């Protein structure tokens, strides 16, 4: 938006005049894992899944599956992990927000709606940001008979919600927002401290400085660079691939 205002004089003018080159948001029909399957099938690369990178030192990765040596490292983890793996004082200049996920599983069809999820309005003043109906979005990954629903919970800085409070918030949303009174058979919480990136006016400049000062064997990819959509991440990945290969 900052860029729009700078280039066109106002955001409204930019919306009217700017060429429609950005594709915006898109989703892989079979879920993100289908991309890994396609890469494994169509290219000679070896994919190690369920493999956590604990640390990066030069061209060496220390992972949950042992040490991996490479010629070049492409760090494509979310920002909070990149900060841990490649500490740099400039990361502090990128503001972030917290978003926790509570996932719920049901053995039968429980959703009274056909959509993919919902977002709450800011005026509702609830920490529940929205919910996704994962089993409707990606039926292949959720089995045919059951249902999976996820809730996204925002947290104000310093409020430190306990796990039990997050589960209670999600359970309330299940009944009051989604109108489901059945109890889930499985529940899981993924805490997302530092999960979301806030793209401030000087974001591009900060990221550029970190990238330019990084060692030549290291490439950064991810949604904290150009924007939140899969499309922006893919565009950056293409750019870096042409530069590196």
Ligand X SMILES: Cc1cc2nc3c(=O)[nH]c(=O)nc-3n(C[C@H](O)[C@H](O)[C@H](O)COP(=O)(O)OP(=O)(O)OC[C@H]3O[C@@H](n4cnc5c(N)ncnc54)[C@H](O)[C@@H]3O)c2cc1C
Binding site for ligand X (CB under 6 A): 25-27, 52-53, 76-78, 81, 132, 222-223, 228-231, 233
**Minimum distance, C-beta of residue 152 to ligand X, in the bound complex (Å):** 6
Q: Which is nearer to ligand X, 5 or 120 (CB)?
A: 120
**Minimum distance, C-beta of residue 137 to ligand X, in the bound complex (Å):** 9
Per the CB < 8 A criterion, the answer to whether 121 and 130 are in contact is no
Q: Which of 227, 145, 146 is nearest to 184 (CA)?
A: 146
**Minimum distance, C-beta of residue 13 to ligand X, in the bound complex (Å):** 26
Q: Which is nearer to ligand X, 77 or 218 (CB)?
A: 77
**Minimum distance, C-beta of residue 52 to ligand X, in the bound complex (Å):** 4
Q: Which is nearer to ligand X, 87 or 108 (CB)?
A: 87
**Minimum distance, C-beta of residue 165 to ligand X, in the bound complex (Å):** 21
Burial 25-46 (b: 16+ CB within 10 A, else e): eeeeeebeeeeeeeeeeeeeee
Q: Which is nearer to ligand X, 132 or 142 (CB)?
A: 132
**Minimum distance, C-beta of residue 69 to ligand X, in the bound complex (Å):** 16
Q: What is the 3-state secondary structure (H, E, C) of the chain?
A: CHHHHHHHCCHHHHHHHCCCCCCCCCCCCCCCHHHHHHHHHHCCCCCCCCCCEEEEECCEEEECCEEEECCCEEECCCHHHHHHHCCCHHHHHCCEEEEEEEEEEECCCCCCCCCCEEECCHHHCCCEEEEECHHHHCHHHHCCCCEEEEEEEEECCCCCCCHHHHHHHHHHHHHHCCCCCCCCCEEEEECCCCCEECCCCCHHHHHHHHHHHCCCCEEECCCCCCCCCHHHHHHHHHHHHHHHC
Q: Which is nearer to ligand X, 5 or 240 (CB)?
A: 240
Give CA–CA dist 44/40, Å, rounded. 7
Q: Which is nearer to ligand X, 184 or 223 (CB)?
A: 223
**Minimum distance, C-beta of residue 140 to ligand X, in the bound complex (Å):** 17
Q: Which is nearer to ligand X, 25 or 39 (CB)?
A: 25
């Amino acid at each position: 938006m900052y860029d729009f205002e700078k280039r066109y004089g106002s955001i409204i003018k930019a919306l009217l005049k700017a060429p429609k080159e950005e594709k915006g948001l898109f989703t892989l029909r079979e879920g993100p894992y289908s991309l890994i399957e396609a890469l494994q099938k169509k290219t000679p690369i070896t994919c190690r899944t369920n493999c956590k990178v604990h640390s990066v030192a030069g061209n060496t990765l220390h992972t949950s599956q042992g040490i991996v040596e490479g010629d070049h490292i492409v760090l494509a983890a979310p920002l909070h992990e990149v900060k841990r793996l490649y500490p740099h004082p400039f990361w502090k200049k990128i503001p972030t927000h917290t978003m926790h996920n509570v996932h719920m599983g049901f053995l039968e069809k429980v959703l009274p709606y056909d959509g993919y999820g919902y977002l709450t309005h800011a005026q509702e003043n609830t920490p529940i940001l929205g919910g996704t109906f994962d089993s409707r979005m990606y039926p292949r990954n959720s089995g045919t008979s059951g249902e999976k629903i996820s809730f996204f919970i925002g947290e104000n800085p310093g409020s430190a919600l306990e796990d039990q409070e997050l589960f209670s918030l999600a359970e309330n949303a299940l009944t009051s927002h989604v109108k489901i009174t059945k109890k889930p058979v499985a529940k899981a919480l993924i805490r997302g401290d530092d999960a979301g990136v806030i793209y401030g006016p000087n974001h591009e400049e900060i990221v550029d400085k970190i990238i330019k000062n990084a060692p030549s064997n290291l490439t950064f990819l991810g949604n904290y660079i150009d924007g939140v959509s899969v499309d922006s991440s893919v565009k950056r990945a293409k750019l870096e691939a042409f530069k590196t290969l």
